[in-house]
């Protein structure tokens, strides 16, 4: 079963607007990651935030993590048409031999 649940399932915005995507999870984590997938292609790692971090930035990406609420958000600022893709959160749970558990993904469409 999926650990991460993204919200919304789909998001459509105008180029230049900000896109906010949310992820909730259930168990304790070492870190939470966001991946991007262009249509039919492999996933690409975007950003990782550790459980002891609250916010992280990478270019136009800003990720927050609230471990008390077991939730994370991914903000893409000044969106571009090229940001159109599916976005997945993935949690790396605590414990030996941990591995990633992916959510079902959010489809982002950025209209030019």
Partner 1 sequence: DADVTQTPRNRITKTGKRIMLECSQTKGHDRMYWYRQDPGLGLRLIYYSFDVKDINKGEISDGYSVSRQAQAKFSLSLESAIPNQTALYFCATSDLGTGQETQYFGPGTRLLVL
Q: Could you list the residues that contact partner 1 (CB under 8 A)?
A: 1-2, 30-31, 33, 35, 40-45, 48, 50, 88, 90, 92, 97-105
Q: In whole angstroms, how close is the CB of 26 to partner 1 at the nearest point?
A: 15
Tell me whether residue 83 or residue 92 sits nearer to partner 1 (CB atom): 92
CA distance 112 to 14: 6
CA distance 47 to 31: 10
Q: In whole angstroms, how close is the CB of 73 to partner 1 at the nearest point?
A: 18
| Helix, strand, coil content of the chain in percent (nearest 5) | 5, 55, 40
Q: In whole angstroms, how close is the CB of 84 to partner 1 at the nearest point?
A: 17
Nearest Cα to Cα of residue 90 among 107, 75, 109, 104: 104
Tell me whether residue 31 or residue 84 sits nearer to partner 1 (CB atom): 31
């Amino acid at each position: 079963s999926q650990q991460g649940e993204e919200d919304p399932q789909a998001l459509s915005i105008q180029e230049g607007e900000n896109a906010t995507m949310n992820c909730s999870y259930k168990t304790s984590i070492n870190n939470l990651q966001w991946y991007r997938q262009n249509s039919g292609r492999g996933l690409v790692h975007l950003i990782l935030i550790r459980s002891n971090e609250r916010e992280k930035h990478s270019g136009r990406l800003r990720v927050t993590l609230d471990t008390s609420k077991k939730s994370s958000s991914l903000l893409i600022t000044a969106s571009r048409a090229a940001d159109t893709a599916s976005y997945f959160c993935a949690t790396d749970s605590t414990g030996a031999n941990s591995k990633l558990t992916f959510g079902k993904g959010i489809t982002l469409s950025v209209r030019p």
